[in-house]
């Protein structure tokens, strides 16, 4: 206990104590409740209780009969100290319990998403968290700067309130925020993105794995979501919400590395001979495809003029023979640009 307490609340309580014999009990209760509402806006429960007890000490000191004041003051002062200690122990216990619950939840999520999880060991805990091991689930992974416990808890509570506690499980895992939700549940990625935007501004990205059945499907969905984030980083995709189902073509490209390497070097190789190298032209093509061929939007993204965009596209055509305005050549160019990003070309090319 400290001697620092909210004076305004203590004085207001003293005023109520002064009027206990002059006003109806219901009126005093209403005024006391209003004080509680005011205290809740800026004070902790410990500060509020301490102010009440301090008011009692001052009231007793001012009104106690001669000879009894010292004993009563000592009693009430000791009561303040004991109450402060009790509240401190109460809050520490509540904090320890919350920490233990978070640890158990994180351990369960780790075990649940392990590649070769044991259903027998998970069954009892899964029931506690509302997870049906035989059901269908989707795993969503959010790349965030630091999944602080307060953010994880706030997001978990918000999503559980929106979709039901039996349908949502949120935890921090390997430096990421992981959300397990019941398969077929609509709107979870968008809702998660909304809460992350509120708490983290723009420093995050969400990836959604495909829905799979059973325990093994959870690990598969997690891997898909993580791979989607990894691919987005390599390809320069900045969309706030990515769906693994939309990126299935890229693992296919990478499976035949020789073929994609041949495509990239054949189509884009001549750009390396340009002044400044291939990178400005790759960036121009990538921005153009991201903006569906809109030259004005492309120029805005690249911070150049529309005329500069047109010039670069003409140079690409002159060097490679391909132009994105030609329908038969657009897909080849787009695939080659994506392949270059996947391979880290030309920075990581053999040449």
Name the pLDDT band for 348 (thresholds 50, 70, 90).
low
pLDDT tens across 227-276, in order? 999 988 888 888 899 999 988 888 887 788 888 899 999 999 999 998 88
Q: What is the pLDDT of residue 41?
A: 80
d(CA 168, CA 182): 7
pLDDT at 66 over 90: no
Q: What is the pLDDT of residue 1?
A: 47
Cβ atoms of residues 320 and 267 within 8 Å: yes
d(CA 149, CA 199): 13
Is the sign of the CA dihedral 285, 289, 292, 296 positive or negative? negative
d(CA 347, CA 334): 19
pLDDT tens across 107-157, in order? 998 888 888 888 888 888 888 887 888 899 999 999 998 878 888 889 999
Q: Which of 26, 14, 90, 21 is nearest to 53 (CA)?
A: 14
Name the pLDDT band for 23 (thresholds 50, 70, 90).
low
Cβ atoms of residues 279 and 341 within 8 Å: no
Q: What is the pLDDT of residue 46?
A: 82
How large is the average pLDDT for residues 22-47? Answer: 76
pLDDT at 349 over 70: no
Q: What is the pLDDT of residue 83?
A: 66
Question: Which residues have CB under 8 Å from 144's CB, separation 6+?
Answer: 151, 176, 177, 196, 200, 203, 204
Q: What is the pLDDT of residue 11?
A: 84
d(CA 343, CA 224): 19
pLDDT at 351 over 70: no
- Give backbone dihedrals phi and psi of 219, rounded to 5 degrees, phi first: -65, -35
Q: In percent, how much of the chain has pLDDT > 90?
A: 39
Q: What is the pLDDT of residue 322?
A: 93
Structure tokens given for 31: 């005024």
Q: What is the pLDDT of residue 256?
A: 85
pLDDT at 179 over 50: yes
pLDDT at 57 over 90: no
Q: What is the pLDDT of residue 22?
A: 64
How large is the average pLDDT for residues 161-179? Answer: 91
How large is the average pLDDT for residues 151-169? Answer: 91
Which segment of 158-167, 244-253, 261-270, 285-294 scores lowest on mean pLDDT? 244-253
Mean pLDDT computed over every residue of the chain: 85
pLDDT at 190 over 90: yes
Buried/exposed 80-114: b ≥16 CB within 10 Å, e otherwise? beebbeebeeeeeeeeeeeeeebeebbebbeebbe
How large is the average pLDDT for residues 53-81? Answer: 74
Q: What is the pLDDT of residue 297?
A: 94
Look at phi and psi of residue 292 and say left if phi exceeds 0, alpha if psi is from -120 to 50, else beta: left
Selected residue with higher pLDDT from 240 and 86: 240
pLDDT at 21 over 80: no
């Amino acid at each position: 206990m400290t001697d620092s307490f909210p004076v305004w609340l203590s004085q207001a309580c003293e005023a109520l104590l002064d009027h206990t014999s002059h006003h109806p009990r219901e009126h005093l209760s209403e005024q006391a409740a209003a004080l509680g509402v005011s205290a809740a806006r800026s004070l902790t429960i410990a500060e509020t209780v301490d102010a009440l007890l301090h008011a009692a000490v001052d009231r007793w000191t001012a009104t106690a009969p001669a000879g009894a004041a010292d004993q009563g003051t000592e009693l009430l002062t000791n009561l303040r100290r004991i109450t402060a200690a009790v509240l401190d122990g109460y809050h520490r216990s509540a904090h320890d319990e919350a920490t233990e619950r978070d640890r158990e939840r994180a351990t369960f999520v780790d075990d649940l998403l392990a590649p070769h999880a044991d259903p027998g060991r998970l069954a009892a805990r899964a029931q506690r968290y509302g997870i049906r091991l035989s059901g269908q689930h989707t795993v969503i992974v959010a790349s965030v700067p630091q999944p602080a416990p307060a953010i994880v808890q706030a997001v978990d509570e918000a999503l559980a309130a929106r979709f039901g506690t039996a349908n949502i499980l949120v935890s921090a895992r390997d430096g990421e925020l992981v959300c397990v939700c019941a398969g077929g549940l609509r709107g979870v990625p968008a809702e998660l993105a909304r809460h992350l935007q509120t708490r983290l501004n723009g420093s995050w990205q969400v990836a959604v794995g495909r829905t799979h059945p059973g325990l093994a499907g959870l690990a598969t969905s997690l891997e898909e979501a993580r791979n989607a984030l990894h691919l987005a980083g390599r390809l320069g995709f900045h969309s706030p919400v990515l769906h693994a189902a939309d990126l299935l073509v890229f693992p296919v490209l990478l499976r035949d590395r020789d073929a994609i390497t041949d495509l990239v070097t054949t189509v884009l190789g001549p750009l390396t001979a340009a002044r400044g190298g291939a990178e400005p032209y790759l960036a121009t093509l990538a921005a153009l495809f991201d903006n569906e061929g809109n030259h004005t939007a492309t120029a805005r993204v690249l911070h150049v003029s529309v005329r500069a965009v047109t010039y670069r596209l003409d140079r690409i055509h002159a060097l490679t023979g391909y132009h994105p305005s030609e329908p038969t050549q657009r897909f080849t160019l787009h695939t080659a640009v994506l392949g270059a990003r996947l391979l880290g070309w030309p920075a990581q090319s053999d040449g």
